[in-house]
Amino acid sequence: MKVAIVDDEQHCIDHLVALLRPYGSEVDLLCFGSAEEAIVGLNAVRPDIVFLDVQLHNKTGFDVLSSLPKRDFSLVFTTAYETYAIEAFKFSAIDYLLKPVDKDDFEMAFQKAIDKVEQSQLTDRIKVLLSHISMENNPKRISVPSNDGYAFLLIEDIVRCQADVNYTHIFTTDGKKYTASKTLKHFEKLLEGQHFFRTHNSHLINLHYVTSYHKDGYAILSDGHKLEVSTRRKEAFIKECSKL
């Protein structure tokens, strides 16, 4: 199993090497200290797993990814900045580790990488990631995990999300329904700041598609659905709608 570490700080490389030591001869380890080295090396070596630092001197791990014609590996980002690009990782469903890397977090991420849990549709998920960190005003997408893989949806096309125990049904403007293997709470946190509002324990709605609110406690959406707004959330709901 070929494992590549891309990091511009030697002590960070040393730390990951130490965490990989228990795997011994199972791992063929390669280390790259710059974006330029990584682009050449990753193209030549074609590793199975890549641990990629976000910040690499005057370049980024995203620059490395953009320069690779093939990305057929399991990918785990590492970053020292809790707020830097974390939102982009979450939208794309790509794994990441915060520095200094915790042993338990590392082992969990490494096992997922070995099992190729996060390799499915990686190229498409990287496109979602890059769209979120791009300076261009591109439409933003979200990677929606299901039992069969991932769906890639424009956030602006999501009308509402509906809870179903540990799953969430996502309804889009074209009338389609996608079932995600994540809870509604996951999507509530993920879509925070994107004009979504949790009206009820079971419903998260895109406020752009609210056409009216009735005093009996229901919101009417542009797709014709009538959804309950809980009493304790009514004032906040009306306030958020009035801002649009």
Print pLDDT tens along the chain (244 aa): 999 999 999 999 999 999 999 998 899 999 999 999 999 999 999 999 999 999 999 898 989 998 998 888 999 999 887 665 677 888 888 889 999 999 999 999 999 888 875 666 888 888 888 878 776 666 789 999 888 889 999 999 999 999 999 999 999 999 999 999 999 999 999 999 899 999 999 999 999 999 999 988 999 999 999 999 999 999 999 999 998 8
Which residues of the chain form CATH 2.40.50.1020?
141-243
31 and 17 Cβ atoms separated by less than 8 Å? yes
Contacts of 18 (CB under 8 A, 6+ apart): none
Domain(s) labelled CATH 3.40.50.2300 in the chain stretch across 2-133
Neighbours of 111 (CB within 10 A): 10
Q: Tell me how far apart the alpha carbons of residues 44 and 55 are, in angstroms, rounded to a whole number.
A: 22
Q: Domain 2-133, what fold? A: Rossmann fold (3.40.50)
Helix 103-114 and helix 10-20: axis angle, to 10°? 70
pTM confidence score: 0.73
Q: What CATH code is assigned to 141-243?
A: 2.40.50.1020
